[in-house]
Each structure stands twice: as C-alpha cells, then as structure tokens.
Amino acid sequence: MGENRVLEGRRIVVGVSGGIAAYKVCALVSRLVQDGAQVRVMMTPSGERFVGPVTFRSLTGRPVAVDQWTDLHETGAHIALAQFAELMVIAPATSNTLAKLANGLCDNLVTTTVAAARGPVLLAPAMNDHMWTNPVLQANVARLQGLGYEFVMPGEGRLACGESGVGRMAEPNTIRESILRILGARGGGALAGKRVTITSGPTREWLDPVRFISNPSSGKMGAALAQVAASRGAEVLLISGPGAALPAASVDTIAVESAEEMLRAVEAHLPGTDVFIGAAAVADYRPEEYAAQKRKKSATPLELRLQPTPDILQSVAQSDSRPAVVVGFAAETGDPEAEARAKLERKGLDLIVANDLTQPGAGFCADTNEALILGSRGQREAVSCRPKLEVAKVVLDQVEKLLEESSGGREAG
C-alpha cells in the first residue's frame, strides 16, 4: 500500500485553538480530506476568532464542533468526538491549551475532548518565541511528552508578531508526515509491524588523529528512505555515518563512524529485521595502520597501505539472520546497469538501486536522484530524476511487493 492510502477512511479529529497559525490548518485539513481521511474539526472560542467554522465546514463537508453543548450525540459532543477519533491533532496548540492539557483542565470543547481521547493525540505548538522558551511552558511540554502525547515541534523563522525565533507552527506537510507515521504504525501502513534497518551517509577511516578517508555522502538518500518507511508504519532503525542527514519523522538512530563500527551496529540489530537497506557509502578501504600521533608532513611522497573494510551488505545478505528483503545501492561512474547487476548477484541481494554519478542531479549530496532498480527476479524499473523522497517511495514500493510475495509464498506453503 502506498503512503497516500494510509489515510483512506481514517478518522481524524482536528482541534483548532487560538493562534494565527490556525490559517495554516486550513491547508492541513484540506490535504487530509484529499487523502481520503474522515476529518472532523473542533474549535476553541479563541480559535474561532482566527478562522471561521464555515471555512472548516466547507473543507470537510461536516459540521464543525465549537462548544461543549453542541448536540452531536446523546453522549455529548466531547464523547462522540473522542469515540470517533483514531487520532486527534491539536493545531495550533497554544501555550494556554498546552497548559490546560498538562493539568487536565476541561473548560472548552477541545480540552474536554482531549481528556476523553482513547487514541494518540498529536500536538503542534505555535506561539511567540519568548512564550515558547518560557520555563513554565517548557515544563508543560515535558510533562505532556512524559504522558505519551506526540509532538510535532515548532520551527524557527519569522513569527506573526514580527519577531524571529522558534515558535512557528510546523508546516502542514510536516504535520501530515507525523500523522502518517502515527496512523501508519497503527495498522494502516503497508509496513506496519515490519522492522526496517537502513545504513546511511559516509564512513570515516582515520589515518591519524587529524586525517581520514571518506566520501561526500550527505545521508539524504538514507534519511528519505527512513522517512518513507516510517510513514508506512515500519519500525525504522537508521544507522548513519558522521554528518549524515536525519529524517523529519522520529526514527531510532545510531551514529557510527567507521565501516567496522557500522558493521557491529548492523549485526547487533539484525535479528528480527525484516528489511535491510544499505544506502550508506561505506569506505571500501581503511589505512592498515592508524598513527596515534599526527603524521608529519615531508617533501617525500607518503605511501599508505590500505586494507579492505568488511562488506556490510554482503555479510547481511549471507547471514543466518538474513532479513526477508535485502536491498543494496550502487554508486557507479561506468556502466551502472552492468556494474549493479554484478553486485546484485555477487552479494546475494534481492534488489539493487543503481545511481549513475555522471548524471546531473543524481548521487551524492543532491536533493534529487535518478536510479535504476534491478531485482534478482528480473525486476527492472528506471526512476527518472526526482526528489530523493520520491525515489525512496519507488524503492519501498518494490520492497513491499517482495514482502507480499514472500508472505504469500509462506501462506501457500
């Protein structure tokens, strides 16, 4: 199932409290409706001052709940909404609303409905930067986190009050990503219940305390894969080399430096992994000797002996704890298809994603990638140049097909 379908038919209650970021919630609600979700909106009296209920009624095609005494159901509006909601999203969540929730106050429809919630509640704070850094507010946020509330934290930038700082509500798309992650993990995502381990970024092989062998991998491709896998409900572990980008979705990460460390982290987490994706640009060689003191510069050439590093991907594919699906990447400058196919076979992989480094907008550091996906069962899919997030979706679509086939095969057998 693609991530867009995760939201089809899902029941989401959006609570709008009183902040100017309420205008951005219109775009969020509109998008969720387009995703096929059943969306109901409830508002605090202050929320109504920023955006009228008619706007949300038009966007959702459903009545908007604005006070506790609105007769939605014989059990009362707050209970009816709480029973309906698989997920509640409070956006914007003002300082006032967060304070009330942290202390269990029920003085308007939104706070009362949250008190009756039976599923996850996602909070998207928005406020002035001094309000955001206020220790009382921060203590309320910490308390709510400790109680299991989910947060999509505010970003930094220009605030409505004219100041700059942290407090801007997360963008609608970022809030949607969190919704996808939460609902995907609760049974709607194609990868729900699957453990996906991804290596990402470069490794560093130190020569001496000040020099290392490495490569320009930014970790963007690995982060995109982690983001998409998490949004489809997978439990994701991202093992990343130094400086590698992290996904917006909250996933478990382990930071490593050398190929050896990356191998140890991968091996420690391999049992129980359903899908392994090697997107890291692992250094193929390390210096045979590490000099504990900085090597002195001299006028004569310096000769270094290099030893091959362990091949992490190959050892995963040949391990006794081999995941159901093992995916490699291949960064090539010659004949990407032939080189990648040779790696697919030699390392015993299910899929390989070939990147032609000679193409503009492909490979290291770019926000985009162009790829050729090859499979051990003859699959071949060319992916034209597009954002790495979109490439990741195509790769994970292929992974899902393989998982479906392997579980179908097991059921038939």
Binding site for ligand PMT (CB under 6 A): 199, 201, 217-221, 259, 278-282, 284, 309, 311-313, 328-331, 343, 355, 363-365
Give CA–CA dist 56/47, Å, rounded: 12
Give the list of residues 6+ apart from residue 343 with CB closer than 8 angstroms, or none: 328, 330, 349, 352
Task: Considering the candidates 26, 161, 365, 385, report the single residue annotated as catalytic.
Answer: 161
Tell me the closest approach of the beta carbon of residue 228 to ligand PMT, in angstroms. 14
Tell me the closest approach of the beta carbon of residue 357 to ligand PMT, in angstroms. 7
Beta strands in 219-283 (DSSP E): 235-240, 252-255, 275-278
- SS3 category, 84: helix
Residue reference for tokens 């195509």: 394
Tell me the closest approach of the beta carbon of residue 187 to ligand PMT, in angstroms. 31
Q: Which is nearer to ligand PMT, 23 or 285 (by Cβ)? A: 285
Q: Which is nearer to ligand PMT, 217 or 227 (by Cβ)? A: 217
Asked if residues 79 and 50 have their Cβ atoms less than 8 Å apart, the reply is no
Tell me the closest approach of the beta carbon of residue 191 to ligand PMT, in angstroms. 20
Beta strand 380-387 with 368-375 is antiparallel
Q: Which is nearer to ligand PMT, 48 or 267 (by Cβ)? A: 267
Tell me the closest approach of the beta carbon of residue 308 to ligand PMT, in angstroms. 7
**Is residue 161 annotated as a catalytic residue, yes or no?**
yes
- What are the Cα distances from residue 235, in Å, to 78, 262, 352, 394, 404? 32, 19, 22, 19, 17
Task: Give how far the C-alpha of residue 207 lies from the chain's centroid of Cα atoms, to the nearest Å.
Answer: 34
Q: Which is nearer to ligand PMT, 80 or 327 (by Cβ)? A: 327
Q: Which is nearer to ligand PMT, 129 or 332 (by Cβ)? A: 332
Tell me the closest approach of the beta carbon of residue 355 to ligand PMT, in angstroms. 4
Q: Which is nearer to ligand PMT, 182 or 353 (by Cβ)? A: 353
State the Cα angle at 21 between 133 and 249, rounded to 5°: 70
**If 0-12 CB within 10 Å is exposed, 13-18 middle and 19+ buried, where does residue 153 land?**
middle
In sequence order, the β-bridge partners of residue 2 are: none
Asked if residues 231 and 6 have their Cβ atoms less than 8 Å apart, the reply is yes
Return the active site residues.
161
